[in-house]
Structure 1
Amino acid sequence: MNFKALYIRGERVIAVQGGADIVSQSVLAMLRQYFEGNLDELYINELTAEPLTKGRILIGALHGYFEPYGKKEQSILMERLAGVDFVFVDQSVYGRACEDIRRFDSKIRIAALFHNIERKYYAQRALRLFRIHNLFLVPAIIRAETAAVAAADLVIAVSEREARMMSRLYGRKPDLIVAAPVQDVYTGINAHRHPTHSSNDFVMLFVGSAFPPNLHGMRWFVRNVMPNVDGRLFIVGHGFEQYRHELSRKNVEVVGSVEDTIAWYQKAHCVVSPIFWGQGIKVKTAEAYMHGKIVIGTQEAFAGYDYLRAGSILAKKKADWIEALRNLDTRARVCDVSFCRQARTYYEQELSVDAQYRKFSAVLDRILSGEHE
């Protein structure tokens, strides 16, 4: 039987600006593969031409909506549901759409993807970044996530940590954990090409957008670790060019936005991930494993991953970072540490889209056949 499916997200991913975009792209690719041409896409911010102002966001939040999904968008969505058998809601902040779909037609199967527990993340933003206005959004987010958990036939999380938090806060365990599926671009010639270095320097790499936790982590790392180690650090990611003056040092180059990160991974001996707070899973960790890189990171950077199985190094304090990087630098002078087979194998077995698709498609089979009832 051919099922007609609808994919819903807040906005279309045009240029990747963070880990959530990578997860969404990969999940959408899996849905397209599964439904074989019977998948439509709907992006909430494209439903109406009304500008998304701060006033509209606040008024919507006071009425329990997380804009841009408000009453107008709700009405348009209902018109798009004719003949639809399955709806995938990407982002838990739009969980009220799950509730509305359930009321519209109880036979439609619904899936909801939690990139993280958004109520926790927005509270962190308010407290850590002094963005107090974020607190006004938390009740609407709680309302949305509660609706998603209650209405969805299939609830998806991205890590065991998020699964435990969801169970504690909302009383439901997710039905599936999709562990940051990352499209494999390290194939063919790239899979066996060792990087060429422009100098004898030990090369460290950070990849990630100038997202608040990433920016906080790089500020700490540049000030506290880089003065104590040899080698060069390259900071690659959307938005970091705005912080070039602040973060640049003799041994730190802020690259900022790039079209393709492959060449930068090829240059690196290792990847560093000094992330101290946040929610969800850090997709850049999976991306580094895909490229076969040793990752040195914090507990937060490895949330949702088996870092020991991947050959990574956990750094809990400043001294751990310095010791790990000095040791790697020493090893790099006598042997190639640029490619970590252990990391690459972990990616292939657990994090690749193929590995995740096997689990994803099996659950969709059960949901659409009615076996979950």
Structure 2
Amino acid sequence: MTAFRGHIDGLNTKTIQSAHAVIERESVSKVFVDGSNLGSFVAETKQRLPAVEVVTFFHNVETRFFWGAFCKNKTVHAAGVMVANYLAERKAVRWSDKVICLNQRDSRLLKKLYGRGATHIAPMALEDKLPSSFNHKTEFSDSQPYALFVGGTFYANQTGITWFVREVAPRIDLLIYIVGRGFEALKSELEIPGKVTVVGTVDNLSEWYMRAQFVVAPVFDGSGMKTKVAEALMYGKKVVGTPEAFTGYEDIINQAGWVCSTVDDFVAAIVTAGKEIKTLFYPELREIYQNKYSLNAARVRMKKILEEPI
């Protein structure tokens, strides 16, 4: 199977040869590879064009990510996807001149799996989607406050929010809205009248963030960094989440919210958040996003990394 040779996610012999032709024709000296799943391209590039510097950005430790997916759904297909990504990622680690990870946790895991950690750490970046109409001074109205869960139905999100609905929601006096693509199919499983409302796919996510008191992130598995934490900061929202949700955000946890590992932790943190959060927008949280997790911040980091000698 070509997948086990690293021909995954659109990569194949033709696309690799086409990219090499451009590199040679344009005398390209540096190549940025956006994802460790493209490890076969990395390997073939360094073997054919050894003078070209190859920098690979690891969005996750893909092997760890797909191992989690396999544990959730133990099928032959899931096992094959995991193995194909392992083989590709191993090539990316071996052949890249620079390896960029989102956090130290992922770097340590690369070292454990493949014998080499990251050469550079660069946290995630997120396009700024705060609309100009967003009311930065919105105070609570007479409407019922709510906490917001945002995410698609990939395995870690679904497992985490199912646990939260079962274990935490019955013990708190706050409405929870679940927003994210695919969750509308789980209404019957997750909704609790007066406690949990499943919205599912929405056209305008900013409206839901605008009115939320805070964000919950009960995610217990995964790799990389959780996009929805940076997104919450972008909208000036605090987060009640697990250590996994805050992985890569450790230096701003005290400002960003509350870390919870157990049911009791979540209940206590949500009670505290309900009492302490009196505004719908924290400008200092948005400033953290702008300084650390915006595209402008990422450009500064990447420029420095790319300009450093090997």
Q: By the TM > 0.5 criterion, same fold?
A: yes
Q: Which amino acid aligns with 1:359?
A: R
2:292–2:298 Cα contact (<8 Å) kept: yes
**Structure 1 residue 362, shift from structure 2 partner:** 1.4
1:293 counterpart (237, 241, 266): 237
Q: Relative to 1, partners in 2 of residues 1:257 and 1:160: Cα closer, same or farther, differing over 3 Å?
A: same
The aligned residue for residue 340 of structure 1 is: 282
Aligned residues with identical type, % of pairs: 30
2:181 counterpart (229, 233, 238): 238
Distance 1:147 1:271 in 2: 38
Task: Pick which of 86-95 and 264-273 moved more.
Answer: 86-95
Structure 2: give runs of 5+ residues left out of the alignment.
none
1:162 counterpart (101, 106, 113): 106
**Structure 1 residue 288, shift from structure 2 partner:** 0.7
Task: Pick which of 90-99 and 180-189 moved more.
Answer: 180-189
Q: Which amino acid aligns with 1:312?
A: G
2:233–2:289 Cα contact (<8 Å) kept: yes
- Are 1:215 and 2:215 an aligned pair? no
**Structure 1 residue 188, shift from structure 2 partner:** 5.4
**Structure 1 residue 253, shift from structure 2 partner:** 1.9
**Structure 1 residue 67, shift from structure 2 partner:** 5.2
Deviations 1:37-69 (A, max 9, x none): xxxxxxxxxxxxxxxxxxxxxx22344543542
TM-score normalised over the length of structure 1: 0.75
- Are 1:151 and 2:70 an aligned pair? no
Residues 261-276 of structure 1 aligned to structure 2 (within 5 Å): 261-276=205-220
The residue matched to 2:149 in structure 1 has which SS?
A: strand
**Structure 1 residue 302, shift from structure 2 partner:** 0.6
**Structure 1 residue 77, shift from structure 2 partner:** 3.7
The aligned residue for residue 263 of structure 2 is: 318
The residue matched to 2:261 in structure 1 has which SS?
A: coil
The aligned residue for residue 273 of structure 2 is: 328
Distance 1:67 1:341 in 2: 39
Deviations 1:243-267 (A, max 9, x none): 2232222132222122332111111
Q: Relative to 1, partners in 2 of residues 1:188 and 1:88: Cα closer, same or farther, differing over 3 Å?
A: same
Distance 1:286 1:243 in 2: 26
2:63–2:85 Cα contact (<8 Å) kept: yes
Aligned length: 306
The residue matched to 1:205 in structure 2 has which SS?
A: strand
Structure 1: give runs of 5+ residues left out of the alignment.
1-58
1:60–1:67 Cα contact (<8 Å) kept: no
**Structure 1 residue 272, shift from structure 2 partner:** 0.1
Q: Which amino acid aligns with 1:78?
A: H
Provide the aligned C-alpha RMSD in A: 2.3
